[in-house]
């Protein structure tokens, strides 16, 4: 197929523009292929692998024996709760504070902690975080680039400081939602993979450039840098995703987090989608989702619809109707917050959006980018 051929997964609505995504001869994306494969997998060997891993690290002295990054949302809550109550582990939970937290997210995090967890809130230097986020927005179209880095780097730093060699993240988003299938059959994740895939090979280059341009000290960046290889090797760090060990189900996670950890959803739907119970921790996620839409042609509603299709709760036709309604969502709700945070005028802000809009997919009408495509209909 021509590299300019844009099409949608024939089972869900993942687009061929999604980074690292692959399709089979049926036109099914790798996320749908993985969904299909999971239904007939024998999960017993992976469950045994999990039990062996936990037995190896379970503390006999009352120390923390694993670390779980959490935001107060459904997925981290599910993983932490399951480790503590089903597998009798003693997890330390960690939150990397986002730049523009939302009230409902703050309440959910408090409810999660109050449900019975040890917790550390890591607040990176907000002035440095703002510089990293500002650069990420202007130069890469990632409005919370600094925070995106820190949810890997600062989490690992915290684990090393507490001598905890076992870190559990939630799902491998590449396999579950569309992207690389490289680690779907591998329990451990190494730092080189995080740099290459999660941070798209730009981590050191961006930090070095920012130090040079903004007179940022080396010590200011400790929470934003990965440890050296020898530090990781000596610690025996094992970094993994819970979704490797059992079938991942974000709705099941939501139900458990609501029942056991006090998770509350918004009264109305979230910006850019039809759901109200996910990604409620920070205001910058709405901008991240809108920039994703302008770059690649799919937004938050497409991602949520794909999850619902793959779990059998929605048809593809229903999803198409919802995506048409919700995906193109300019972040009006938070615009004043963004302008104040980035210290921009509205025109300057919109100029950044224009820079990242895919002109092959969008045209500007009445100052808003509108799609040239029809959802689900391939374009050459």
Q: Among residues of the chain, what percentage have pLDDT more than 90?
A: 81
CATH class of 44-244: alpha beta
Residue range 80-87: average pLDDT?
98
Say which range, 173-177, 201-205, 210-214, 366-370, has the weakest mean pLDDT. Answer: 210-214
- C-alpha 189/C-alpha 69 separation (Å) is 15
pLDDT tens across 90-141, in order? Answer: 999 999 999 999 999 999 999 999 999 999 999 999 999 999 999 999 999 9
Buried b (16+ CB within 10 A) or exposed e, 270-286: bbbbbbebbbbbbbbbb
pLDDT in tens, 260-269: 999 998 777 6
- What mean pLDDT comes out for the span 347-351? 97
Q: What are phi and psi of 138, to 5 degrees?
A: -70, -40
């Amino acid at each position: 197929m021509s590299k300019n051929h844009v099409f949608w997964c024939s089972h869900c609505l993942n687009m061929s523009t999604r980074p690292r995504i692959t399709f089979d001869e049926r036109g099914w994306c790798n996320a749908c292929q993985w969904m299909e494969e999971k239904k007939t997998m024998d999960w017993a060997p992976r469950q045994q692998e999990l039990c062996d891993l936990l037995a190896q690290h379970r503390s006999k002295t009352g120390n923390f024996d694993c670390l779980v990054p959490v935001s107060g949302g459904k997925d981290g809550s599910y993983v932490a709760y399951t480790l503590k109550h089903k597998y009798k582990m003693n997890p330390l939970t960690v939150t990397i504070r986002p730049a523009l937290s939302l009230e409902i997210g703050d309440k959910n995090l408090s409810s999660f902690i109050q449900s019975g967890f040890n917790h550390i809130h890591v607040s990176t230097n907000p002035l440095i975080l703002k510089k990293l986020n500002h650069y990420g927005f202007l130069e890469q179209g990632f409005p919370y680039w600094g925070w995106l880095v820190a949810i890997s780097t600062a989490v690992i730093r915290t684990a090393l400081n507490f001598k905890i060699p076992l870190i559990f993240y939630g799902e491998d988003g590449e396999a579950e939602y569309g992207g690389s299938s490289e680690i779907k059959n591998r329990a451990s994740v190494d730092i080189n993979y995080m740099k290459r895939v999660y941070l798209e090979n730009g981590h050191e280059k961006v930090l070095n450039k920012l130090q040079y341009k903004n007179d940022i000290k080396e010590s200011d960046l400790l929470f934003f840098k990965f440890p050296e290889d020898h530090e990781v090797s000596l610690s025996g760090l094992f970094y993994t995703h819970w979704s490797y060990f059992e079938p991942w189900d974000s709705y099941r996670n939501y139900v458990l987090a609501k029942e056991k950890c006090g998770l509350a959803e918004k009264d109305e739907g979230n910006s850019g989608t039809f759901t109200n119970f996910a990604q409620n921790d920070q205001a910058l996620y709405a901008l991240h989702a809108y920039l994703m839409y302008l770059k690649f042609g799919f937004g938050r509603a497409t991602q949520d619809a794909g999850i619902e299709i793959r779990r059998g709760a929605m048809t593809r036709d229903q999803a198409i109707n919802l995506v048409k309604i919700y995906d193109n969502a300019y972040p009006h709700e938070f615009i004043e917050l963004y302008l104040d945070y980035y210290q921009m005028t509205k025109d300057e802000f919109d100029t950044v959006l224009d820079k990242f809009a895919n002109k092959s997919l969008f045209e500007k009408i009445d100052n808003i980018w509108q799609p040239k495509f029809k959802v689900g209909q391939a374009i050459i």
